Amino acid sequence: MRRPRAPNASRGGDATKQALRERIWTLLTRRRLGRFPFPLTDRIPNFRGAEAAAARLATLPEWATARRLKCNPDAAQLPVRRAALAAGKHVFMAVPRLSATKCFLHLDPARLRGRLAQAATIGGAARLGEPVGPDALGHIDLIVAGSVAVDRRGARLGKGGGYSDLEFALAVAEGAVDETTLVVTTVHDAQVVRGRIPMTSHDVPVDVVATPTRLIRTSRAHARPTGIDWRALTDAQLAEMPPLAALARRPQIRRASRQR
């Protein structure tokens, strides 16, 4: 089945990115470094040592001080979500494809007593999380992103949907994310590539990479997106993502869009 084009996809570099994704998925599969769910292709791959990578991430001083996290829902980052809730941190997970007006699930550890491990799962978050809109995010101290591949310069490659970047841009537009927000990811060491991953202006770079064996503070060679590239979104795509459509209707957003 052909994957639909990502909302913010740029044609330049797409073939290179997809070839790298395929290479990483194949490598993890061949070396038996992946874990359920299978196959690893077309997803953020779960990996052996995800718990060790999460534990290493939790040694960061920024982790200790973070109170509110936005985290992806993939299985590879389940240990991160569990650790965050166990530490009393508020966790926000986006609903698939930003398809609801209340597009984030708020996991409040104080409200989830005795059910933290369950709430950290995808199904548990859907049942136990409180649906909230972007305006309820507050200030996000730390963003956890799922990755297929990363490099030491901070470039990150997701599974190709583009929604993680849109979630970041939406949070920026709402004032929930700023330069003090740390962006991190957990991956297997085999997912850290030696070459450079191509980046576009809407791709979100990472500040820290945690693997089962090390922490990598990237060189932050790439600028963060400063907002939503409205020119890259069609009316049909906006109609499928109510929170973006609502944001686009704000007078100041419409004026800024026309001036570009």
Strand partners, 216: 209
| Distance separating alpha carbons of residues 107 and 98, to the nearest angstrom | 17
* CATH number where 176 lies: 3.40.50.10420
What is the reported pLDDT for 253?
58
What is the reported pLDDT for 258?
40
Distances (CA, A) of 87 to 67, 94, 111, 182, 196: 9, 21, 14, 18, 35
What is the reported pLDDT for 252?
62
Domain assignment present for 5: no
Domain assignment present for 156: yes
What is the reported pLDDT for 232?
85
Domain assignment present for 240: no
Per-residue pLDDT of the chain (260 residues; tens, 9 = 90+): 233 344 544 444 688 999 999 999 999 999 999 999 999 999 999 999 999 999 999 999 999 999 999 999 999 999 999 999 999 999 999 999 999 999 999 999 999 989 999 999 999 999 999 999 999 999 999 999 999 999 999 999 999 988 999 999 999 999 999 999 999 999 999 999 999 999 998 899 999 999 999 999 999 999 999 888 888 888 899 999 999 999 988 876 544 444 44
Domain assignment present for 8: no
Range of the domain at 156: 14-227
Sequential DSSP letters for 110-141: TTSTT-HHHHTSHHHHHHHSEEE-GGG-----
Domain assignment present for 1: no
Contacts of 140 by beta carbon, 8 Å cutoff, 6+ apart: 68, 69, 70, 92, 171, 176, 177, 181
Domain assignment present for 32: yes
Domain count, the chain: 1
Sequential DSSP letters for 128-178: HSEEE-GGG-----EEEE--SEE-TTS-EE-SS--HHHHHHHHHHHTTS--
Domain assignment present for 249: no
What is the reported pLDDT for 12?
40
User: How many CA atoms does the CB half-sphere of 86 hold within 13 Å?
Assistant: 11
Domain assignment present for 121: yes
In the sheet where 215-217 sits, what is the strand order? 130-132, 104-107, 90-94, 68-71, 142-145, 182-186, 208-210, 215-217
pTM of this prediction exceeds 0.95: no
